[in-house]
Amino acid sequence: MDNKEHWERVYGTKAPDAVSWYAPHLETSLNLIHKASSDRDAAIIDIGGGEATLVDDLIAEGYRDISVLDISQKAIDVARARIGDPADKIHWYCADITQATLPQNYFDIWHDRAVFHFLTEESQRKRYVEQVMRSVKHGGYVIMSTFGPEGPEKCSGLDVVRYDSENLHGQFGKTFKLINSSTELHKTPMGTTQQFLYCFCRME
């Protein structure tokens, strides 16, 4: 089973609030987006946004240039149905982030919560970083969230890579200035906790 088949099966068999990474609102992500820009015309992309509610909150706050990328069409369909008419104003990309075609030098803010840690091969991570460098404007912001050093070793049946701030920032290199980092304990719908690391960077 390839990656796309895996995630189509996950989103086809589980309710949006039954996956371990679900949260009603991604407060830490929203706070970092606010720090990155108060301009409601800022171009924002949410990588692996799928069924997540970040797009709903961005719409509610008046952001007007929002893109969501997910490998699963089922996840995108769920989000579009939930959002209703405003979904027509969102740019939706159904693609593997390492192979996606995205606009160049366009995004002011790149957000990823829980995609990058699934890239267990160095070649995948290299392609991901290349995508960021092509797509984000110089001076733009990159918000990365992965499992932290004490996070799970697997998720949704797949191996993951856990990071501390030094190792995660090191994947991106000197072009990306680390502004700050933090960890948080995410409470899953099952009542367990997962440690997430957040890195907030500016592309120089």
Residue 155: per-residue pLDDT: 75
- For residue 20, what pLDDT is reported? 60
Q: 184 - beta bridge partners?
A: 196
pLDDT, position 13: 67
Question: For 62-120, how does the pLDDT look when each residue is reduced to its tens digit (9 = 90+)?
Answer: 999 999 999 999 999 999 999 999 999 999 999 999 999 999 999 999 999 999 999 99
Amino acid at 132: V
Q: What's residue 99's pLDDT?
A: 95
Structure-token match 């240039």, residue found: 65
Summarised one tens digit per residue, pLDDT across range 146-201 is: 999 988 787 777 888 999 999 999 999 999 999 999 999 888 767 788 899 999 99
**What residue spans define the domains of the chain?**
3-203
Task: Please check the confidence at residue 56 and state whether its pLDDT lies above 70.
Answer: yes
The bridge status of strand 158-159 relative to strand 154-155 is antiparallel
Span 3-203: which CATH code? 3.40.50.150
The rounded distance, in Å, linking the Cα atoms of 21 and 59 is 21
Q: Tell me how far apart the alpha carbons of residues 149 and 197 are, in angstroms, rounded to a whole number.
A: 8
pLDDT the model gives residue 34 = 97
Reduced to 3 states (helix: H, G, I; strand: E, B; else coil), residue 119 is: coil
17 contacts: CB under 8 Å, gap ≥ 6: 189
Q: How far apart are CA 104 and CA 138, in angstroms?
A: 11
What's the pLDDT at 1? 54
Q: What is the pTM of this model?
A: 0.92
Q: How far apart are CA 124 and CA 184, in angstroms?
A: 26
